[in-house]
């Protein structure tokens, strides 16, 4: 099989009809430890900025449970280092914004998106609010240590949120519009389907940058959440869904 080029088009991935996958504690990586990305020379968003990670319109999420450093499973950190080696050839590097989240932090994130949905939809219909929030955050409200179908992706240490940075300027690349509104534009392949008259220079740039990030990550073994251009997985329930296999990173109690 030929490895996709780093600017190959992003395909459509539909999760609607994929069957749930199962957790396997016998996998060799199941007990992979959490490590700090600071030890892997990977650029990360500072703690004070991460407190404001998803708050674009509302007050920031500030949790006593948030980790000071960005933590991920050891194998995931090693894979990100290899992605960086590829990107450095283009004077680019990864800029990681979130990794492992304790359940308490996941609850705060979920509440944020529920409140954001209520504000934008001007509705209190519970199912509508949940449907909106699920596009951007795993629902922790039914979390059970004994039920792998309730484990939020970031609680496993195998999910990472990131973007690209120019190594020469130290600035983030443009991957979403300035007016990003947690709508369809966050879908990873959004620009691929734009008609020619809507494919502005800005969207051409964003399409190119999303392709670079997508292909660099997938070439190294990650999967992407098709609803979030910034979210990638390895060994998580989402990874298992997309790969049609079992997953091995369980939730980490903290």
User: What is the per-residue DSSP string for 10-72?
Assistant: PPP---TTPPP--B-TTSTTTTPPEEEGGGGT-EE--HHHHTTSS-SSSPPP--TTS-SS-EE
**Is 121 a domain residue?**
no
Does any domain span residue 127?
no
Per the CB < 8 A criterion, the answer to whether 156 and 146 are in contact is: no
Q: Is residue 235 part of a domain?
A: yes
Domain assignment present for residue 3? The answer is no
Write the CA distances from 17 to 85, 226, 244, integer angstroms: 36, 14, 12
Which of 92, 137, 165 is closest to 228 using CA atoms?
A: 137
Distance CA 248, CA 240 (A): 9
Q: Whole-number mean pLDDT of the chain?
A: 88
Residue 211 sits in which domain range? 34-49+68-102+157-243
Asked whether residue 170 is assigned to any structural domain, the reply reads yes
* Within a domain: 138: no
Q: How many domains does the chain have?
A: 1
pLDDT at residue 104 in the model: 87
Q: Please check whether residue 222 lies inside any domain of the structure.
A: yes
Pairwise CA distance, residues 57 & 62, whole Å: 15
Q: What is the pTM of this model?
A: 0.90
pLDDT digits (tens, 9 = 90+) for 79-118: 999 999 999 999 999 999 999 998 988 888 888 889 888 9
d(CA 152, CA 148): 9
Query: Is residue 144 predicted with pLDDT exceeding 90?
Result: yes
* Cα(186)–Cα(210) distance, integer angstroms: 11
pLDDT higher than threshold 50 for residue 1: no
**CATH code: domain of residue 162:** 3.30.1380.10
> Could you tell me if residue 188 is inside a domain?
yes
pLDDT at 116: 84
Q: What is the largest CA-CA distance in the chain?
A: 52
**Helix, strand, coil shares, percent, the chain, to 5:** 35, 10, 50
Confidence of residue 178 (pLDDT cuts 50, 70, 90): confident
User: Percent of the chain scored above 90 by pLDDT?
Assistant: 61
The span from the CA of 85 to the CA of 204, in Å, is 25
Q: Pick from 26, 31, 27: which is nearest to 252 by CA?
A: 31
The residue among 198 and 218 whose pLDDT is bigger is 218
pLDDT in tens, 35-87: 999 999 999 988 777 766 555 555 566 676 677 899 999 999 999 999 999 99
């Amino acid at each position: 099989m030929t490895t996709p080029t780093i600017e190959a088009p992003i395909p459509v991935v539909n999760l609607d009809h994929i069957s749930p996958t199962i957790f396997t504690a016998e996998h060799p990586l199941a007990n992979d430890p959490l490590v700090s990305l600071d030890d892997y020379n990977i650029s990360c968003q500072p703690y004070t900025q991460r407190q404001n990670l998803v708050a674009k319109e509302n007050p920031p999420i500030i949790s006593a449970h948030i980790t000071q450093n960005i933590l991920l499973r050891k194998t995931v950190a090693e894979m990100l280092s290899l992605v960086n080696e590829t990107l450095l050839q283009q004077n680019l590097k990864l800029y990681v914004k979130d990794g492992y989240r304790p359940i308490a932090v996941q609850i705060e994130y979920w509440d944020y998106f529920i409140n954001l949905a209520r504000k934008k939809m001007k509705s209190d219909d519970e199912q509508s609010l949940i449907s909106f929030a699920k596009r951007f955050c795993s629902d922790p409200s039914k979390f059970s240590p004994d039920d792998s179908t309730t484990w939020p992706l970031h609680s496993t240490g195998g999910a990472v949120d990131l973007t690209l940075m120019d190594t020469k300027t130290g600035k983030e690349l443009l991957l979403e519009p300035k007016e990003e509104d947690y709508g369809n534009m966050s879908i990873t392949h959004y620009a691929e389907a734009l008609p020619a008259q809507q494919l502005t220079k800005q969207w051409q740039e964003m399409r190119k940058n999303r392709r670079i990030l997508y292909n660099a990550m997938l070439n190294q073994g990650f999967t992407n959440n098709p609803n979030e251009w910034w979210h990638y997985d390895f060994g998580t329930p989402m990874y298992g869904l997309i790969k049609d296999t079992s997953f091995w990173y369980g939730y980490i109690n903290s």
